[in-house]
């Protein structure tokens, strides 16, 4: 069943406290060998097994999944994958783990997913038609967690449409792991009908509530949408507006497509990046990528390989999605691949951060304190 998200509730303020928020950051360091990539490219998962919390790191170059004990930093398991032959996984850009013998890796742009066991043996191969009439690309990774309901797994999808019609596409898909059947449900919110937004503004994130609903965050949308997991029907919406950005329409450059301006706007304009539920503290976090007035870090302006130095704020919400407050993170060099652990809200550090060193994965884990007065 396919449904558009529709604004169905009133637009009253959803600010409960807007209290002062402070934070502390713990640095988590994991030692790796010289041939392991520090960056997972968003291929990461937090997984619990035998009383331990694991950080699973996807290394595309080595074609391996690495399971690190988050507390000790020790590598406890690894799942290597062959690239050729009957157990061949030629390439992958996402994965999720149900158990050590139920691991799924996928390549979104070729519509293929493989079920592998702990030895890397392929137990099943899923293949969908390369049908351009489907307006949701299968298994396109956003660095989002897989969500399970029985034999169904829910993953984000990316619209398979031209930029001027991008907003019409699906943003959620379900895959039946028994039959291989794929269904699409939720689409973008109606705000995208009103003007052109850069690709970054079309960013989609979602998180599962304790009672089994999905909360959606869209890059250009001040509201969060609570939806039914199966049908995509909107059940509620909550205002969660940042005090630090104003989402701007990108302008009329999609037809004809101006890729230079599109790339610069995507890098410099602010937008809503991520929504996550913290089951350890019963908070929701909405991550905001802040606007940048300088396309590149000024200290690296003469570097031909210079990169954007992003800064973020975090909107903290209570269990009913009421905004408690927002805090700007002072740290720079963070990536946009956020996740939750028992240690807090975590982000890997960019390879270009001054703190990044060889043979080490580094990420910050944030804990927040709210001053109720």
Residue-wise pLDDT tens digits, 146-167: 899 989 999 888 777 776 677 7
Which distant-in-sequence residues (6+ apart) come within 8 Å of 198 by Cβ?
A: 250, 262, 265, 266, 269
Distance CA 156, CA 100 (A): 23
Strand bridging mode 339-341 / 344-348: antiparallel
Which pLDDT band, with edges at 50, 70 and 90, does 180 fall under?
confident
Q: Is the pLDDT of residue 367 over 90?
A: yes
The whole-number pLDDT of residue 8 equals 33
Distance CA 116, CA 122 (A): 4
Which pLDDT band, with edges at 50, 70 and 90, does 178 fall under?
very high
List b or e across 243-260, with b for residues whose CB sees 16 or more CB atoms inside 10 angstroms: ebbebbebeebbeeeeee
Distance CA 239, CA 314 (A): 15
What is the average pLDDT score of the chain?
83
| Both structure tokens of 221 | 């949308």
Q: Is the pLDDT of residue 12 over 80?
A: no
Distance CA 319, CA 81 (A): 40
Please return the burial class of 152, using the count of CB atoms within 10 Å of its CB with bins 0-12, 13-18 and 19+: middle
Top-confidence residue, 222 or 258: 222
The whole-number pLDDT of residue 196 equals 61
Distance CA 272, CA 314 (A): 10
Top-confidence residue, 189 or 17: 189
Q: Mean pLDDT throughout 139-143?
A: 59
| Both structure tokens of 52 | 């331990």
Q: Is the pLDDT of residue 10 over 50?
A: no
Residue 214: phi and psi, rounded to 5, are -110, 135
pTM: 0.89
The whole-number pLDDT of residue 341 equals 96
Q: Are 363 and 348 in contact (CB under 8 A)?
A: yes
The whole-number pLDDT of residue 212 equals 95
The whole-number pLDDT of residue 298 equals 46
**Among all chains, which residue has been given the structure tokens 């529709």?**
6
Within 13 Å of residue 261, how many CA atoms lie on the same side as its CB?
12
Top-confidence residue, 249 or 234: 234
Which pLDDT band, with edges at 50, 70 and 90, does 304 fall under?
very low
Q: Is the pLDDT of residue 75 over 80?
A: yes
Q: What is the DSSP letter of 259?
A: H
Cis peptide before 256 (omega within 30 of 0): yes
């Amino acid at each position: 069943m396919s449904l558009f998200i529709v604004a169905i509730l009133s637009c009253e303020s959803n600010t409960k406290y807007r209290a002062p928020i402070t934070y502390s950051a713990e640095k988590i360091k994991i030692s790796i060998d010289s041939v392991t990539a520090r960056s997972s490219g968003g291929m990461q998962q937090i997984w619990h097994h035998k009383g331990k919390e694991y950080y699973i790191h996807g290394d595309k170059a080595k074609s391996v999944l690495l399971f690190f004990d988050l507390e000790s930093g020790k590598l406890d398991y690894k799942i290597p994958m062959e690239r050729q032959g009957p157990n061949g996984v030629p390439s992958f850009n996402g994965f999720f783990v149900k158990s050590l013998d139920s691991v799924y890796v996928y390549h979104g742009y070729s519509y293929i997913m493989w079920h592998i066991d702990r030895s890397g043996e392929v137990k099943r191969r899923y293949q969908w038609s390369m049908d351009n009439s489907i307006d949701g690309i299968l298994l396109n990774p956003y660095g989002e967690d897989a969500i399970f309901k029985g034999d169904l797994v829910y993953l984000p999808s990316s619209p398979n449409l031209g930029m001027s019609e991008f907003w019409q596409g699906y943003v959620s898909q379900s895959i039946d792991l028994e039959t291989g059947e794929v269904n699409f449900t939720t689409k973008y919110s109606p705000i995208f009908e009103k003007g052109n937004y850069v690709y970054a503004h079309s960013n989609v994130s979602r998180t599962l509530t304790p009672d089994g609903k999905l909360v959606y965050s869209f890059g250009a949308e001040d509201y969060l949408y609570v939806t039914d997991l199966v049908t995509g029907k909107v059940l509620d919406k909550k205002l969660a507006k940042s005090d630090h950005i104003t989402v701007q329409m990108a302008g009329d450059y999609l037809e004809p497509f101006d890729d230079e301006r599109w790339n610069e706007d995507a890098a410099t304009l602010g937008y809503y990046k991520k929504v996550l539920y913290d089951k350890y503290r019963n908070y929701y976090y909405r991550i905001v990528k802040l606007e940048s007035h300088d396309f590149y870090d000024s200290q690296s302006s003469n570097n031909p390989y210079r990169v954007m130095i992003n800064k973020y704020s975090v909107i903290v919400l209570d269990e009913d999605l009421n905004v408690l407050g927002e805090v700007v993170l002072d740290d720079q060099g963070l990536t946009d691949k956020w996740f939750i652990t028992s240690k807090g809200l975590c982000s890997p550090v960019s390879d270009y951060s001054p703190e990044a060193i060889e043979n080490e994965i580094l990420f910050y884990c944030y804990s927040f304190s709210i001053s109720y007065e």
